[in-house]
Amino acid sequence: MKKLCFILFCMLSMTGMRGVAQTTFLRGMANVDTITVGQPFDYQLFLTIPKDYYVEWKQFGDTLSKEIEVISVGEVTTTPINNSDNVKMTQHLTLTSFDTGYVYVPEIDILYSKSLRDSVRHTLSTNEYELYVTTVEVDTTQAFKPIKGVIKQGLTAKEVFPWTIVVIVAAGLVYLIIYLTKHVNKKEVVEEVKKKPAIPAIITARAKLNEMKTNELWNSSKTKDYYTDLTDIAREYLEGQFGIDAVEMTTDEIMKAVNELNLNGFAKDKLQETLITADFVKFAKANPTAEQNEQSFKDIDFFVEDSYVYFQEVEKKKKEEEIK
């Protein structure tokens, strides 16, 4: 009987260990709970997550809320956890507040999915962090300073401004008289300003892709720069060819807009795969192989050419309808 109980205990322990082998946990922590007005303080984000998961880190602006301002945002660092399938990811923020009394660092959301290609996004959130902001303390034990007398200032802008206007007006009148004297009996020649025609988006995209192909940039050690340049070509092409404001959009927003076009599904998949890989490189510090980098280049090149064929077909149909 004791032996049977021991075996059951071991099985339950192993099951428990498997259950906690992979976990997700997000915590936000500050190094202080009281600051003076405008004093910077450190705020750390700690994320524990399985190493194979895809994480989409929040892009911070100038503020977290009307009470909390962002001074600086550090890079995300990833550290393996010993004897575990998890990793610890850390990001350092420097924050401040110019309100007084109790203020709150708001909840911060981090999106993740179980794999790079998994379209289902889950959300982890930090707890709201309470902080007390005090005013600058006045030392009442010190003696009062004597009141200083009136200090004579130089000329102020208010005093100089009227004279500046007079000088400008006088100079303008002199210039006008000289100009009219020289041009009294001459014809004014109006030159027509010719606007340079805009370069078609397809030509720009082809030129940039050809330059990357010539230099074989997928073999570069600067993987992040490579994917930034490659996806920028795709974003600028989408904006110039289809009017999609892709430069300012996230990957999900871009794909939502592209899905509204009647493009080849295979071409759209190629674009999505490259955009997701680029996000993984930029935000999760992934390091694809040179072969994967070259394949991403081919995928963007295929998407550009295939979508341009679709664009030409649409334009052709429009002209046929106008003729009718």
Query: CA-CA distances (angstroms) from residue 25 to 31, 46, 135?
Result: 20, 8, 35
pLDDT for res 133: 93
- What residues contact 161, with CB distance under 8 A and at least 6 apart? none
Cα dihedral across residues 98, 99, 102, 105: positive or negative: negative
Q: Which CATH number fits domain 21-134: 3.50.50.60, 3.30.479.10, 2.60.40.740, 1.10.10.10?
A: 2.60.40.740
Show me where the domains of the chain are located.
21-134, 201-323
Which pLDDT tens digits describe the chain residue by residue (324 residues)? 444 444 444 443 443 333 334 689 899 989 899 999 989 999 999 999 998 899 988 888 899 899 999 999 999 999 998 888 899 999 999 999 999 899 999 999 999 998 878 888 899 999 999 999 998 765 666 665 666 656 666 666 667 778 788 888 888 888 888 888 776 655 444 444 455 568 898 999 899 989 988 888 778 788 888 889 989 999 999 999 889 998 889 999 999 988 888 888 888 898 899 999 989 988 888 888 888 889 998 999 999 999 888 888 888 888 888 887
Residue 63 CA to residue 66 CA, distance in Å, equals 7
Among the listed residues 202, 199, 272, the one whose alpha carbon sits nearest the alpha carbon of residue 241: 202
Distance CA 268, CA 242 (A): 14
Q: In terms of C-beta density within 10 A (0-12 exposed, 13-18 middle, 19 or more buried), how is residue 223 classed?
A: buried
- pLDDT at residue 190, rounded to an integer: 41
Q: With helix as H, strand as E and coil as C, how does the chain read?
A: CHHHHHHHHHHHHHHHHHHHHCCCEEEEEECCCEEECCCCEEEEEEEEEECCCEEECCCCCCECCCCCEEEEECCCEEEECCCCCEEEEEEEEEEECCCCEEEEECCCEEEEECCCCCCCCEEEECCCEEEEEECCCCCCCCCCCCCCCCCCCCCCHHHHHHHHHHHHHHHHHHHHHHHHHHCCCCCCCCCCCCCCCCCCHHHHHHHHHHHHHHHCHHHCCCHHHHHHHHHHHHHHHHHHHHCCCHHHCCHHHHHHHHHCCCCCHHHHHHHHHHHHHHHHHHHHCCCCCHHHHHHHHHHHHHHHHHHHHHHHHHHHHHHHHHHC
Look at residue 150 in the predicted model and tell me its pLDDT: 62
pLDDT at 175: 85
